[in-house]
Amino acid sequence: MTEKEVITKIQELKQITPREDWVVLTKNQILIQEMGRDKKPTIVGFLSRFNFRWVLLPAFSFCLILGIFALSQSSLPGDSLYPLKKMTEKSRVLFISQEQKPKLNLELANKRLQDLTKIVQNNDVKKLAPAIKEFQANISEAVKNLSKIKATSSDPVMIKKIVEETKKLEENKQKVEALGVKVGDTEELDNALSQWRARLVESEIKEMEGKELSENQQQILAEIKQDFENGDYSSALEKILLLSYPQDK
């Protein structure tokens, strides 16, 4: 082939054009390869696909935290979010007085018994041990804090609340054990409550003896003294609360 013929053939090749569908397909393949090269899926990339406004990021983060916090409050011992719930409950102790702590401990112990009821109803056996452990921890804290309360400085309102939480605790414990779950011995708490009641009743008797009482109040005081001598501190305390809240409904 002569040089002139070669040049002619080259000129003919220049006039050849690819099909339009082939051109579009090739461009798309090249674009996909470039986008995927050295890139990993990230939250930033995910949000960018939806034209996320980055000025809203603080509000988005705050809402996300609130959502996680709200979910944690319904978590049970053994759940991944339960440590956050426990941390929230413990933080309440920092903002209350020593006299209020036993009431809070008993309140949390009641919540753990309610958790146990849910766990049993859901047949979630793996969560039983963590819930019982948390219940016993709350009981231990209540025992420790009850021993620190001075009977002479006890607030009548707080006394009433502790008595109410104690009754509720016994009722919830019976419900859980009726479902076949043994939550452990609470004898230490019973002893601590008994000692607290005894100190409290003795202090209240001395205080009432120094006051002018009506005939009815004197009769109640006589019954309180009799209960105290018999070691029936619960009954004596109920009568003391009756004098403190005569019209309580």
Question: Nearest-CA neighbor of 138 among 107, 181, 178?
Answer: 107
Q: Per residue of the chain (249 residues), what is the pLDDT tens digit?
A: 565 565 565 566 556 565 666 555 565 566 555 555 555 455 555 555 555 555 555 665 667 666 676 677 778 888 888 888 888 888 888 888 888 899 999 999 999 999 999 999 999 989 999 999 999 999 999 999 988 887 665 677 888 889 899 999 999 999 999 999 999 889 999 999 999 999 989 988 998 888 888 899 899 999 999 999 999 998 998 898 887 766 544
pLDDT given at position 185: 87
pTM exceeds 0.75 for this model: no
Q: What is the dihedral of CA 88, 136, 143, 101, to 10 degrees?
A: 10
pLDDT given at position 74: 78
pLDDT given at position 248: 46
Kindly report the length of the chain. Answer: 249
pLDDT given at position 25: 57
Contact 166, 106 (CB under 8 A): yes
pLDDT given at position 112: 94
Beta carbons within 8 Å of 248's beta carbon, 6+ residues apart: 241
Q: State the Cα–Cα distance between residues 154 and 203, nearest whole angstrom.
A: 10
pLDDT given at position 73: 77
pLDDT given at position 173: 94
Question: Nearest-CA neighbor of 109 among 197, 189, 192, 193?
Answer: 189
